[in-house]
Amino acid sequence: MNSRLIVINVVRWFILLSVQVLLLRNLSFYDLATPFTYILFLLLLPFRMPNLLLYIIAFGTGLTLDSFYDTLGVHTAACVTLAFVRILFISVTVSRDNFDEPEPTLGNMGFKWFSLYALLCTFAHHLVLFLLEAFKLTELSYTLVRCLLSGIFTLFTVILIEFIFYNRKMR
Amino acid sequence: MRNLWIFINRYNAFFLFVIFFTIGIILTVKNNTYQRSVTFNSTNEVVGHAYERLNVFKRYMNLGEVNDSLARENAKLNTRLLAMTTIDSAKNTIVKDTVNHVQYTYLAARVIKNSITLRNNIITINKGSVDGIESGMAVISAGKGVVGLVRDVSAHLATIESLLNKNTKISVSIKSTKALGSLVWGDRNSDYRKAFIKDIPNHFQIKLRDTVVTSGFGNFPPGILVGAISNKAVSTGDNFMTIETRLFNNFSTLQYVYVIKDKLAQEEKELESKLPNEQ
């Protein structure tokens, strides 16, 4: 991992988290769907990253979000779950020895791969997030509907942002 | 040992996930009051429903006794009703508007979990915030005296800090002398049939079998029965004495309780919070 990647990721972390905390936190459709676009940061972390470091970064990001949302632990657990799904998905779909690309962006990996990757990670994250937030099974259907709608919203914003900063790798 | 290490190393993603996820859950439960109140007490849906099932049996066992007590109470209420409807208008000149200014309203609830053997006993009842129950409300039993104070409330259930709990303190007075004291249970006493009245000044003449009632300070309405004095010699050696009282209420067979809503509780609390703090 070179210094350019580190700088890009730090900048991305600040921008995405401030957008989440300052703007998206106040955004909600009929109290059902809220986008959690900050997970894009975790999605775009470089391939060549030790698992432990990935978990620590996910944990720290979740903890930061939690302190702004006053829900200590909820986002943390959700981000850690996302990291786990990310590792599983990448180990299944990308061969470990030769990562051609440094980061799993839309431009590097193609729309099909990236959308599936974002879909799985987003729903794993949202499922844990909303179930922990509700913390009971009696309103399960309502929780799942909120999870589904927020997931679609998040996915939409994530892919939209990726298209805006789309740059196809020149081969 | 080496194989184990290789195994852990190969699946490190999973093990790290378990570790970090557990930390996340622990943080959630420890720091968020909502999650904490839901997880570990009997207002929890799962535990609450289990107790409710269990209680169906117990209710059959005590059906006779409950019938008797209901019949007794009916008789008493009928007598009182009779006394109210036949007012001697020549004698009573003051008209009390009891319809518009009812300060206390009663709400009946069924006990679904009870204990008398613990150090801090908690009762769970089948009424909750949906029925208007709030934390801090007084709870009494049918005609026989104080039970405790509401502690936690969920939508359909509530827990009561029973009198048999070392945190419960109820302001009481002795009916004949009007001496004020506070009723406590703990302190080397684990008998559910008796409790102690503390902080009664030494100059009061105490008679055995005098009735103890609530004083009206705090959340209980005045004049609710508590018990009869059974031993007056439990002195502490200073200016105040401690008196033993036999409780009218039998906590071991408690099945139906009344939660008392005080209409003026909120108003009183707001008014008193304006006083300067004198500590």
Q: CA A105 → CA B103, B173, B189, distances in Å?
A: 67, 76, 70
pLDDT in tens, A62-116: 988 888 877 778 899 999 999 999 988 988 887 666 566 777 888 778 888 889 9
Nearest to A62 by CA among B200, B28, B64: B28
Do residues B25 and A77 make contact, with C-beta atoms less than 8 angstroms apart? yes
Nearest CA in chain A to B31: A72
Task: Tell me, letter by letter, the H, E, C secondary structure of B44-110.
Answer: CHHHHHHHHHHHHHHHHHCHHHHHHHHHHHHHHHHHHHHHHHCCCCCCCCCCCCCCCCCCEEEEEEE
Residues A147 and A36: their CA atoms lie apart, in Å, by: 11
| CB pair distance less than 8 Å for A77 and B21 | yes
Q: How far apart are CA B279 and CA B277, in angstroms?
A: 6
* Residues A84, B29: C-beta atoms closer than 8 Å: no
Query: Which of A145-149, B10-14, B261-265 reaches the highest mean pLDDT?
Result: A145-149
* C-beta atoms of B35 and A135 within 8 A: yes
Q: What is the DSSP letter of A169?
A: P
The torsion region of residue B187 among left (phi > 0), alpha (psi -120 to 50) and beta comes to left
Range name among A46-55, A72-81, B69-78, B230-239 with the lowest pLDDT average: B230-239
**Å between A65 CA and nearest CA of chain B:** 13
Spell out which chain B residues touch chain A, with contact meaning CB-CB distance below 8 angstroms: 12-14, 16-17, 20-21, 23-32, 34-35, 38-39, 45
**CB-closest option in A74, A81, A84 to B28:** A74
Cross-chain residue pair B12–A52, CB shorter than 8 Å: yes
Higher pLDDT, B3 or A157: A157
| The CA-based dihedral angle spanning residues A6, A8, A14, A17, taken in that order and rounded to the nearest 10 degrees | -100
* A58 to B20: CB separation less than 8 angstroms, yes or no: yes
Share of chain A above pLDDT 70, in %: 91
Would you call B7 exposed, middle or buried from its count of C-beta atoms within 10 A (0-12, 13-18, 19+)?
A: exposed
B152-193 pLDDT, tens per residue?
898 888 999 888 887 888 889 988 888 888 888 876 677 888
Cα A96 to the chain's mean position, in Å? 21
Radius of gyration of chain B (CA): 24
